[in-house]
Chains A and B, each alone.
Chain A
Amino acid sequence: MKIVVCIKQVPGTTDAKIDPETKRIVREGISAVTNPFDVYAVEEAVRIKEKLGGEVVALSMGPPRADMVLREALSVGADSGILLSDRAFGGSDTWATGYALANAIKKIGGVDLVLCGKQAVDGDTAQVGPGIAAQLDWPQATYAMAITDITDSGFVVKRMHEDGWDLCDIDFPAVVTVVKDINQPRVPTLRGRLAAQKVQIPVWTAADIGAEPGKIGLDGSPTRVVKTAPPPMRHKDSLKVEGTAAECAAVIVRQLRLKSLA
Chain B
Amino acid sequence: MTTVTARRPRTRRNVELALLLLALVVAMGGYGLVGVTQDGAWPPGLLGYGAGLAAIALALHLVVRFTAPYADPVLLPIATALNGLGLAMIHRLDTARSTDAAAFAPRQLVWSAIAVLLAAVVLVVLRDHRVLQRYTFTAMVTGLVLLLLPLVPFLGRRINGAQIWIGLGPLSFQPGEIAKIVLTVFFAGYLVTHRDSLALAGRSLVGFRLPRARDLGPILIAWLASLGVLVLERDLGTSLLFFGLFVAMLYVATERISWIALGLALFVGGAALAWSQFSHVQDRVRAWLDPYATDVYDAEVGGSFQLVQGLFGMADGGLTGTGLGAGRPDLVPFAESDFILAAFGEELGLVGLFALLMMYLVLVERGLRTAISVRDGFGTLLAGGLAFVVALQCFVVAGGVLRVIPLTGLTMPLLAYGGSSLLANWVIVGLLLRISDSARRPAPTRPRDETEPDTAMTQVVRTA
Q: Tell whether A and B belong to one assembly.
A: no
